[in-house]
Structure 1
Amino acid sequence: MLQGIREARAAGEPVALATIVGVTGSAYRREGTRMLVRQDGSYTCMLSGGCLEPEIVEVARQVMQSGQPVRTEYNLDEEVMWGLGIGCGGAVEVYIEPLRDEPVTNRWLQALEQGETAVLATPLEPGLGRLFLSEAASEGALSDPGLEAQVRSTAHQLLTALQPRALTHVLRAGDGRAVPVFFDVNLPPAELLIFGAGHDAIPLSRMAVEFGFKVQVVDMRDKFAIPSRFPGAQVRLLRPERFAQALEVGPRTFVLVMNHNLLIDQSALTFVLQTPAPYIGLLGPRSRFTKIVDKLAKEGTPLTPEQIRRIRSPVGIAIGAESPEEVALSILAEIMALRRGYPAGFLNGLEGRIHEPAGAAR
């Protein structure tokens, strides 16, 4: 999409951006999904399985001609949606706007290009302005100071959440009227830090890269810490005493310890427990974790109850995994569920929305 925007701007061609800003019931994609539409009717990315795109293209052409954004709702019920048998049973609200060359939009596109943590707040009523906010700066303003204060407060909550979602919030303007504001959220890729470059780390690293993680693999053995074994990942040859100096672990860094060596695993756990990592997993049976806990206690550096609770052992989702590839799938499923606030249970028989995590940042 970003490449398409660059090419259109270089050619001086108008484009429109269609964004899902609301979902009721079931739909193929969630809030924040974007689609770029060109004047000739071609488009990049999709908002559905192909059923909505022709209609959105036509509306986008009108938007490019008029220069005015349009907010429209599409019913996905199979009896309503042109008899195509889509059968989602929900509806999506789409905001279609001309992509203008102006400071707030450009700052948002820059954040997308650079993988910056940022929020773009768009009141879905005309004439109120637009606001970009990142962890360090802001751009733009809203014409209603009271509304802007609420937008900034909501954006701050999103910026500090582990896995915030793009959503529309209904806020109150200064005159008391309800104003829907769409908060689009951009996050840098989640990080996966793997301690241990053994054979079973290879499928874990490969799958994580495919899922969009920024992967680091750390090992002290030069026969294992070979970049060619882990395509797409950064491979670090480090001894435990250098972990604190060489590794940066933040609040969105997921950690898996799988050295297959108790002493090195102990060193890795001791290090990451001093960081804000939201996930610390230890490969192996619970008895192995108990040995490490007991050894630390005997050495006079016992783990606190809170530290013990932070370490997930055994690691992964219970799917009967046996092969390294199956274990990798189990681990990444657990990380994805925790990252997005889902219980990781079966969907069979679930009533209501399947994309509704418990306690998710809204």
Structure 2
Amino acid sequence: MREIENIFLAYKKAKSTGLDCVLATVVHVEGSAYRRPGARMLVDEQGLMTGAISGGCLEGDALRKSLHALHQNRNKLITYDTSDETDAVIGAQLGCNGIIQVLFEPIDYSNPTNPVELLKEALETNDESVLVSLFNLQKRQHQMGTCLLFKDNQKTIGECKHPELYQRIKSDARFTLAEHTSCFRTYLSKESEVQAFFQLVPQPVHLVIVGAGNDARILASMADCLGWNISVTDGRATHANKERFIGACQVIVSEPEKALESLDINANTVFVLMTHNYKYDLAVLELLLLKEPLPYIGILGPKKKYHRMLEDLASKGIHPNSKQKSRIYAPIGLDLHSETPAEIALSILSEIQKVLVGSSGDHLKNKKERIHIDEDNEFRLVQLENS
């Protein structure tokens, strides 16, 4: 999410200074690549690049292709074959062995639903959304570009001038939302075909840090680098204030009951209890057990603290079931032998990421298959009847 935010900020600056720009988007990958479909880079006419579509090997040529698309003022699809070790443009012996399709789109500032504005809309929603990019693998054909955004609340932004194609796209966008995964389609008519990349834009992670000590400041700062939404709550105004935390943080000074009322809690909200105040942490844990299932509740402190909390809850007639307990992580964090506040923050964030994506957390060198598993990177064929 942070990369999309940076792209939009660069877009706003270019627009305000009258500089034209191009959005480059990875729309399909076959084989291995450093970045996956949905990776983006904004390039302005002076050559300033924001974001990335690779680890650096494609950016030089992508800059030239961006300026070329800008000069011609039309969308272009470029194929990069990193399996070709003789390709001097990309650089030999990369070892990625992937075929990468990159869509280059000059931005029309007068269009309120241009690709970057659609990205902004996706960024501002708290629900999952689907961004649709239409292109044609036959390079000389018209490249329609990123033109539609479907939100989880059934709202659609953008347009498609082909009625039957639009209805099929709408149906496949609903499928993407239901399955919570990106997908690819080829729409075939009697006269032509068009490929589509349906990018699932997930809800941003919302990290709620209960406690505003110095260790919480480091945790918030590191989570901000991940582009997560961050809220900090504490009963002490001397600790919970805007001066102590990064500007993007929501800071709440309140007792536990009122603090939770001020938060937008959804399925992507995770909690870290680290007030160093046993009673405050216990009160928050009791309230969280009454909420809809949360994916992660981490409690800083030794295991005996957690056992004591369970005992105190039991004395009040509160007995967390096995499902609730499975979402409580106490002691918090992965075993990284962390000692300093920064190391502890790294351990906590790593554990949260592991839980949210369902990863084993093992060493990549032990992975038998490729690092990125494409569950469905095939272009599924859809026949259009009336086109």
Which TM bucket (shorter chain)? Answer: 0.7 to 0.9
Q: Does 1:31 align with 2:40?
A: no
Corresponding position of 2:158: 140
Q: Does 1:318 align with 2:338?
A: no
Residues 84, 187 of structure 1: CA spacing in aligned structure 2 closer, same or farther, 3 A cutoff?
same
Q: Does 1:152 align with 2:167?
A: no
Corresponding position of 1:96: 104
1:300-344, Cα deviation, whole Å (9 max, x unpaired): 222233222222223212222233221111110111223334222
Which residues of 2 match residues 219-234 of structure 1 at below 5 A?
219-232=234-247, 233-234=249-250
Q: Which range is displaced more, 221-230 or 130-139?
A: 221-230
Shift of 1:246: 2.6
Corresponding position of 2:133: 122
Q: Is the 8 A contact 1:147 1:173 kept in 2?
A: no
1:114-133, Cα deviation, whole Å (9 max, x unpaired): 46654321222348783222
Q: How many residues align?
A: 356
1:86-122, Cα deviation, whole Å (9 max, x unpaired): 3333232111223234343265154167466543212
Shift of 1:169: 1.1
Q: Which range is displaced more, 288-297 or 328-337?
A: 288-297
How many angstroms apart in 1 are the aligned matches of 2:51 and 2:344? 32
Residues 245, 50 of structure 1: CA spacing in aligned structure 2 closer, same or farther, 3 A cutoff?
closer
Residues 231, 45 of structure 1: CA spacing in aligned structure 2 closer, same or farther, 3 A cutoff?
closer
Q: Does 1:202 align with 2:217?
A: yes
Corresponding position of 1:307: 324
Shift of 1:177: 8.9
Corresponding position of 2:359: 342
Residues 256, 153 of structure 1: CA spacing in aligned structure 2 closer, same or farther, 3 A cutoff?
farther
Calculate the TM-score normalised by the size of structure 1. 0.82
- What is the one-letter code of the residue matched to 1:300? G
Q: Is the 8 A contact 2:135 2:143 kept in 1?
A: no
Q: Is the 8 A contact 2:27 2:133 kept in 1?
A: no
Q: 1:236 aligns with which of 234, 244, 252?
A: 252
Shift of 1:224: 3.3
SS in 1 for 2:113: helix
Q: 1:76 aligns with which of 71, 82, 98?
A: 82
SS in 2 for 1:321: coil
Q: Is the 8 A contact 1:115 1:186 kept in 2?
A: no
How many angstroms apart in 2 are the aligned matches of 1:41 and 1:265? 50
Shift of 1:20: 0.7
Shift of 1:67: 3.9
1:199-233, Cα deviation, whole Å (9 max, x unpaired): 43232122112322222221123443344333343
Q: Is the 8 A contact 1:14 1:99 kept in 2?
A: yes
Shift of 1:353: 2.7
Q: Does 1:263 align with 2:279?
A: yes
Shift of 1:193: 0.5
- What is the one-letter code of the residue matched to 2:276? H
Residues 90, 148 of structure 1: CA spacing in aligned structure 2 closer, same or farther, 3 A cutoff?
same
Q: Which range is displaced more, 179-188 or 86-95?
A: 179-188
Unaligned 5+ runs, structure 2: 1-6, 137-141, 377-387
- Compute the RMSD of aligned alpha carbons: 3.4
Shift of 1:192: 1.1
1:139-186, Cα deviation, whole Å (9 max, x unpaired): 23445555544533443465578xx67x45125557799753112454
Q: Is the 8 A contact 1:29 1:48 kept in 2?
A: yes
Shift of 1:11: 5.9
How many angstroms apart in 1 are the aligned matches of 2:375 and 2:64? 37
Residues 9, 194 of structure 1: CA spacing in aligned structure 2 closer, same or farther, 3 A cutoff?
closer
Shift of 1:34: 1.5
Q: 2:268 aligns with which of 227, 252, 258?
A: 252
Q: Which range is displaced more, 42-51 or 332-341?
A: 42-51
Shift of 1:189: 4.4
Shift of 1:347: 0.9
Corresponding position of 2:383: none
Q: 2:118 aligns with which of 87, 91, 108?
A: 108
Q: Which range is displaced more, 89-98 or 350-359?
A: 350-359
Corresponding position of 1:289: 306
How many angstroms apart in 1 are the aligned matches of 2:46 and 2:338? 49
How many angstroms apart in 1 are the aligned matches of 2:293 and 2:171? 23
Unaligned 5+ runs, structure 1: none
Q: Is the 8 A contact 1:128 1:143 kept in 2?
A: no
